[in-house]
A and B are shown apart, each in its own frame.
Chain A
Amino acid sequence: MSKVKPGTGRKACSSDSFTLSIGPVHPALKEPVRFNCEILGEKVTRVDFELSQVHRGIEWIGTRRNPVQILYLAERICGICNISHSLAFCRAVESVAGIEVPARAQYIRTIIAELERIHSHILWAGIAAHEIGFDSVLHYTWRVRERVLDIIEYLTGNRITKAMLMIGGVRRDIAEKQYPRIREAMNYYNRYFDKLKKIFLADPIIKARTRDTGILSKADGLGLCVVGPTARASGIKKDVRQDEPYAAYPDLDVRAITPDEITGEIRGDVYDRIAVRLLEVRQSAKMIEKCLRQMPAGKIAYEEKVPKLLADLRGAEGEGIGRHEAPRGEVFHYVKMVGEASPFSWKVRAPTYNNLLSWIPMLLGEQIADIPIVAASTDPCMSCTNRAVITDSGERKVLGQDMLHKLSVRKTSELRRRLGK
């Protein structure tokens, strides 16, 4: 059982501590969340956070649209996870309506979802490097990421918003003549895996900044119900692709990746979270290669004519769950349909929803300069600008993103001096 007691409301500053408020937009991943940290000297002694900056009421809008229209909405819940949300939604509706997805469509869904994971993890690795002051690594990783974006554009027509899924299947086929280019890109990632591993895991300064920083113990992780790489880095082997295989995952034999595969131990710190994500990039590349080898022929959708599909869905009654392992963890959609054009209820749960509370045990006892990298290490996804306000006995000092970033970079340079690099 977790010992973490989440915050019980705002508390007045005591005479020897002060409150550091970071937000309303988070300084690391440009997401709208505000942190209120109580600071004693350099140490964080209490953590609280506020969301509520950008509630868009997407679920409410969804209950006034038909399932095919909702797909467009679901794709726009998150910029990166647009396949994740639409896949979870499709699965929920398919389970309500009893729609069977053709095997070829399941494979195409898997390929696109794994391409999304590679793109998301490498993007995150670049930001993590930037947070601790390695801007050359940021530019390098983002250059490496371009390759997967090219492939996504090649297959779907768009770099980011893929619009590939349809209820009961997919919208576009992947033709045989497109395979070589995908294979070539996957070889590229297999080749660069060793280089990325060397940059992130062997560098003594990155190691000094991230080892034993932002620790989440397995017990806390279980109690707080964390998901995705955050959970796996703490030794919780939870991965929907392994636990409840769907799409083409039953044929791929996925297993949850924990950091001990590469480091030999599990500490649940920022370093472990980097290790898990790097390993997952390689895992995804291998899965895509396997999908291309095994891809069955056949239809790509249960029903290609949208009016016919909508007529079938209008008669559907019941409730269903759609789950998908997104890059950040499990995406969970609940849909209830009552035989009308629009669903009666739609609930979306993104992975960050479950990972929020894990910031409290991670940040407690850490230094101010570590807040950006620790908060970013869960890869939070909420949505951009930033500033921080320090209030100290009535006086207000504004710490901008630049200042916080400088603090973090200064800590890295001090470490570098101390390590003699």
Chain B
Amino acid sequence: MKAAIVLNSFKRKFGRKIKKARIEKIEHKLKNGNIISRVWFNVERNSFKDAVKHLCKIYPNPHFSVASGYDTGDHIELIYHFSVNYDSKLAEICISMHVELPKKNPVLPTITDLIPGALISERELQEMLGVMIKGIPDSRRIFLPSDFPKGVYPWRRDETGPEKLIRNLNKGGSL
């Protein structure tokens, strides 16, 4: 129920900038079984920061779980996962926002000013997918070693992907 309220609030505020909105329901059939609901939607890149601001307004201190992402060919798709309203039984809502970035200009504003805990994910997105997080307070690598070649992004599926390094590993050669 609450999931629908949250989704409607986003729909009212952002109108057509929100697409593919859906509520996923998962049922646990037990003696005291339950149904949990999760919110998914796509938000346009230009409204992404406002959408996160809106989320912080409805639920102060949203919990940012992680950002996942993948390469779809022409685009890079990022998914920011949040969970809000935790604290009591079955009240929590998981919200996942998709953002599509064109490969030619993969730039997204930082959200660390709203949620400081997002820093590690933003650093990870930069090194793994080659996106640019505008205004990131610390742009160093985090998981990749410092001698990992520049311009190779492990989560990409195009020519900047890690494929050529893998063959090298097979031959036992150096990078």
B34 touches A353 (CB 8 A): no
Given contacts A52-B146, A246-B28, A250-B30, contact A238 B86 (CB under 8 A): yes
Residues of A within 8 A of B40 (CB): 319
Interface membership of chain B positions 88-115, coded 1 if the CB is closer than 8 angstroms to chain A and 0 otherwise: 1111101010000000000000001001
Residues of B with Cβ closer than 8 Å to A? 24, 26-34, 36, 38, 40, 61, 63-66, 68-70, 79, 81, 83, 86-92, 94, 96, 112, 115-120, 137-138, 140-146, 154-155, 162
- With both chains docked as a complex, state the minimum distance between the C-beta of A372 and any C-beta of chain B, in angstroms: 22
Count residues of chain A with CB under 8 A from any CB of chain B: 57
Residues of A with Cβ closer than 8 Å to B? 1-2, 4-9, 51-53, 55, 57, 59-60, 95, 100, 103, 106, 222-226, 237-239, 242-248, 250-251, 253, 255-256, 294, 296, 319-321, 323, 330, 332, 334, 336, 344-345, 347, 349, 353-354, 356-357
Question: What residue in chain A is nearest B87 (Cβ atoms)?
Answer: A237
- With both chains docked as a complex, state the minimum distance between the C-beta of A312 and any C-beta of chain B, in angstroms: 18
Q: Which of A57, A95, A247, A334 contacts B68 (CB 8 A)?
A: A334
A153 to B155, CA, bound (A): 38
A60 touches B154 (CB 8 A): yes
A162 to B87, CA, bound (A): 31
B116 touches A6 (CB 8 A): yes
Interface Cβ pair total, 8 Å cutoff = 139
- With both chains docked as a complex, state the minimum distance between the C-beta of A331 and any C-beta of chain B, in angstroms: 10
A8 touches B90 (CB 8 A): no
Q: Which of A239, A251, A345 contacts B31 (CB 8 A)?
A: A251
A358 to B61, CA, bound (A): 16
B24 touches A95 (CB 8 A): yes
Question: What residue in chain B is nearest A57 (Cβ atoms)?
Answer: B154
Q: Which of A100, A245, A247, A357 contacts B120 (CB 8 A)?
A: A357
- With both chains docked as a complex, state the minimum distance between the C-beta of B75 and any C-beta of chain A, in angstroms: 13
B154 touches A224 (CB 8 A): no
Q: Which of A51, A248, A294, A321 contacts B81 (CB 8 A)?
A: A321
Residues of A within 8 A of B66 (CB): 332, 334, 347, 349, 353-354
B30 touches A5 (CB 8 A): no
- With both chains docked as a complex, state the minimum distance between the C-beta of A360 and any C-beta of chain B, in angstroms: 10
Q: Which of A1, A250, A349, A354 contacts B33 (CB 8 A)?
A: A250
A347 to B96, CA, bound (A): 14
Residues of A within 8 A of B94 (CB): 244, 321, 323
Residues of A within 8 A of B89 (CB): 242-243, 245, 253, 255
Residues of A within 8 A of B117 (CB): 2, 223-226, 354, 357
Given contacts A223-B116, A226-B117, contact A52 B90 (CB under 8 A): no
Question: What residue in chain B is nearest A241 (Cβ atoms)?
Answer: B89
Residues of B within 8 A of A51 (CB): 142-143
B70 touches A344 (CB 8 A): yes
Q: Which of B26, B63, B138 contacts A225 (CB 8 A)?
A: B63
B138 touches A244 (CB 8 A): no
Given contacts A60-B154, A332-B66, contact A4 B32 (CB under 8 A): no
A56 to B142, CA, bound (A): 13
| Sampled A-B contacts (20; CB under 8 Å) | A5-B137, A6-B116, A6-B119, A53-B145, A55-B144, A55-B145, A103-B30, A106-B30, A222-B61, A224-B116, A238-B86, A238-B87, A239-B86, A243-B91, A244-B92, A250-B28, A251-B32, A253-B32, A319-B40, A353-B66
A6 to B144, CA, bound (A): 19
New contact pairs (7) apart from A52-B144, A225-B63, A251-B32, CB-CB < 8 Å: A55-B143, A95-B24, A243-B87, A244-B92, A248-B30, A294-B31, A345-B69
Residues of A within 8 A of B141 (CB): 52
Residues of B within 8 A of A344 (CB): 70
A321 touches B88 (CB 8 A): no
- With both chains docked as a complex, state the minimum distance between the C-beta of A232 and any C-beta of chain B, in angstroms: 11
A330 touches B28 (CB 8 A): no
A332 to B40, CA, bound (A): 16
- With both chains docked as a complex, state the minimum distance between the C-beta of A319 and any C-beta of chain B, in angstroms: 8
Question: What residue in chain A is nearest B28 (Cβ atoms)?
Answer: A250
